[in-house]
Chains A and B, each alone.
Chain A
Amino acid sequence: MPRLSGAQIIISQLERQGIRLITGIPGGANLPIYDALARSTTIRHILTRHEQGAGFIAQGMARSTGQPAVCFATSGPGATNILTALADAYLDSIPLVCITGQVPRTLLGTDAFQEVDTYGMSMSITKHNYLVRSAADLLTILPKAFRLAGSGRPGPVLIDVPKDVQTEMVEFVAWPEPFLAADHLPSDLKSVGQAAAMINEAARPILYLGGGVIHAGAAAEARQLAEQSAIPTVMTLMGLGILPTDHPLSLGMLGMHACRATNLAMEECDLLIAAGVRFDDRATGRISAFCPNAKVIHVDIDASEIGKLRPADAGITSDARHAFAGLLPLVQPRQRRRWNDRIQRLQKDFPRFPPQSFAPGKPFQLIRRLAELAGPKALISTDVGKHQMWVAQSYPFTTPRQLLTSGGLGAMGFGLPAAIGASLAFPGRPVVCFSGDGSLQMNIQELATAVEQRTSVKTVVFNNQSLGLVRQQQRLFYERHYFASSYSISVDFTAIARGFGMRAFDLNGAADPDHLLRQAMVEPGPCLINVPIDIEEDVTPMVPPGAANTTMIGDDHASN
């Protein structure tokens, strides 16, 4: 009969669960767990410089692999620091198991040193959370936490473990079974039949695909459905990569920063086939004006998403893979000449990439060039801001899970640690983080982790010496009343990177910028590339917050 401490039970179960990497930072309240981890021969610990970095690195692993990843933090400030990463995982449905230390049970509720109510604070930003009250409970809680994080609609689970629970000894008969990947319930046949009939009858359908399709591993089925019935397809920010960017049926991203032709096509559709999406306001614009003439089929594994914001004419509570598998045999092969001609007409009238955006030094030119140099196997992360939207608009994505970006929370500081996580999960693959000078400064300390862990992360800083997207909104919606949106000092990011022991390249004033880019991308190991960007360079077109998606401003065609 094994007799182990709570901390040993935690580490052994993580090993049995197949966890090989854990990110985190130790402190007084989680030292017993770290002491047990030190003895593990199979788990490698990634010591980060900030707990938010630990949370986002774990997310980078989870987002790139689809498997639950694990991060640790101590009580009090360790726990509060990691909360942003939990909220981010919650809004993007990313499987994460976060284990925090807590003050001993005897001190709970006494405002003890480094005591905060981690359980209460994390409740609304986790799929589920636990405050562990006895070491024996860990035997059931850990497998359950992995099951919850990884199945159904994935999400973060937090386990808060008082220090004396970590040291409490328990004797038990046998280890519980670890959680292995859950298969999801097949969808309800009646609504699948109804949905197929709606697709067959529709004249102008559009597929609207999001992160749920990627979580379900359903990109191939989605593509088959699109091709079989010649259905033009839009993707949310979280769905980019489901169809390759250059696929003839791909209309790219919809919503606030979509191409004009995409939002206009949606206005004309008569059937919206929504899968793994939640009708987020950044995607739909003013919801009452979204696809106003369309019937709606909504596929989601989370029943509460169906009808939450837009009533569905056919709702299918199912993971996208099972739903598509059910639909495919019932959906008639079609060409949909007229509808696809109409869309091509729109794309001719409103080209996606005006030629001037490919002038040297312009964001689209740089992104396309970096994509060429990185190759099709590259994993891409972004931070939050204009640079994020430029990447979403122009990067030639080819596969799901290729783009890691903070969609729901829009958390600046996500990009670098997420890229580190992706690089740790896929050591052989190139990883590029597109960041802004504002965002990078939110987790810049993780440059040290990128070097220390011998990652291959290339951090590209689109440096406009400003909080660009905020400044753009002030220009468009606050009469150019620029306030608190630019920096009055210029930061030498290459010197900072070098201070962390990282190679760095500066395109500012470079005689041959392309040569420098090639050199930076070809050398193995991490590096930072500073890329000057004109402060006035904006993301266009843009749907003003709260407006209908057909109200697009800022580009050459804007008249409304």
Chain B
Amino acid sequence: MPATDADLTAATLASPTTILRLTVNNHPGVMLQICGLFARRAFNLEGILCTAIGQGDASRIWLTIDAADKLDQIVKQLAKLEDVLAIEERPDAREQVGDMAAMMARIG
């Protein structure tokens, strides 16, 4: 069911989120690694945006995560993944990530 702008605003307001920016090796298994980690460690992943960067060897992943989760554990567990090259906490990017999510909702 396509989300409406209203759904989206409601969702954003309901739970405070944290934004993480990852730099990862770009290969077909890497998304599975990130999503699999969140699933099996019972961390909540609210949103994920991913694009290739540079020559295509690396990807940038933006994660929106539930701030109620143990951020420290999430960051340490992500850091153990061999394909994760860098992790940054980026609260300053909340608005832009929100804009992208809203744009996706408009595409429907």
Contact = CB atoms under 8 A, between A and B. Distances in A.
Interface string A284-319: 000000000000000000111001100000000000
B32 A120 contact: yes
B47 interface: no
A303 B76 contact: yes
Contacts of B82: 127-128, 148
Given A302-B80, A303-B76, A124 B40 contact: yes
Contacts of A304: 73, 76-77, 79-80
A123 B73 contact: no
B29 A131 contact: yes
Interface string A117-135: 0011001100111010000
A303 B79 contact: yes
A131 B73 CA distance: 28
B16 interface: no
A307 B82 CA distance: 22
Nearest to A304: B76
Interface string A317-352: 000000000000000000000000000000000000
Nearest to B39: A124
Interface in A89-144: 119-120, 123-124, 127-129, 131
A123 B73 CA distance: 19
B35 to A, nearest CB: 10
Nearest to A120: B32
B92 interface: no
Interface string B18-61: 00000000001100110010001000000000000000000000
A123 B76 contact: no
A123 B80 contact: no
Contacts of B95: none
Interface residues of A, number: 14
B36 A123 contact: yes
A120 B32 CA distance: 8
Q: How large is the interface on B (under 10, 10 to 19, 20 to 34, 35 or more residues)?
A: 10 to 19
A308 B36 contact: no
B29 A119 contact: yes
Contacts of A127: 82
Q: Which of A123, A128, A303, A304 has the most CB of B within 10 A?
A: A304
A124 B76 contact: no
Contacts of A129: 29
A128 B36 CA distance: 13
B78 to A, nearest CB: 9
Interface in A5-61: none
Contact of A123 (B29, B72, B77, B79): B29
Contacts of A128: 82
A154 to B, nearest CB: 13
A124 B36 contact: yes
A62 B80 CA distance: 22
Contact of B73 (A119, A120, A124, A308): A308
Interface string A376-409: 0000000000000000000000000000000000
A142 to B, nearest CB: 15
A460 B32 CA distance: 44
Contacts of A308: 73
A123 B82 CA distance: 12
A127 B80 CA distance: 9
Contacts of A302: 80
Contacts of B79: 303-304
A282 B57 CA distance: 43
B98 to A, nearest CB: 29
A120 B29 CA distance: 8
Contacts of A303: 76, 79
A304 B79 CA distance: 9
Contacts of B36: 123-124
Interface in A173-209: none
Contacts of A124: 36, 40
Nearest to B33: A123
A119 B76 CA distance: 23
A127 B81 CA distance: 8
A136 B51 CA distance: 26
Contacts of A120: 29, 32
A123 B40 CA distance: 11
A128 B80 CA distance: 10
A397 B100 CA distance: 61
A308 B41 CA distance: 11
Contacts of A307: 72-73
A307 B40 CA distance: 19
A131 B27 CA distance: 10
A399 to B, nearest CB: 30
A146 to B, nearest CB: 13
Nearest to B80: A304
Nearest to A144: B82
A302 B76 CA distance: 9
Contacts of B80: 302, 304
Given A120-B32, A302-B80, 12 more contacts: A123-B32, A123-B33, A127-B82, A131-B28, A131-B29, A303-B76, A304-B73, A304-B76, A304-B77, A307-B72, A307-B73, A308-B73
22 contacts: A119-B29, A120-B29, A120-B32, A123-B29, A123-B32, A123-B33, A123-B36, A127-B82, A128-B82, A131-B28, A131-B29, A148-B82, A302-B80, A303-B76, A303-B79, A304-B73, A304-B76, A304-B77, A304-B79, A304-B80, A307-B72, A308-B73
Interface of A: 119-120, 123-124, 127-129, 131, 148, 302-304, 307-308
Nearest 6 CB-CB pairings of A with B: A304-B76, A128-B82, A303-B76, A304-B77, A124-B40, A123-B36
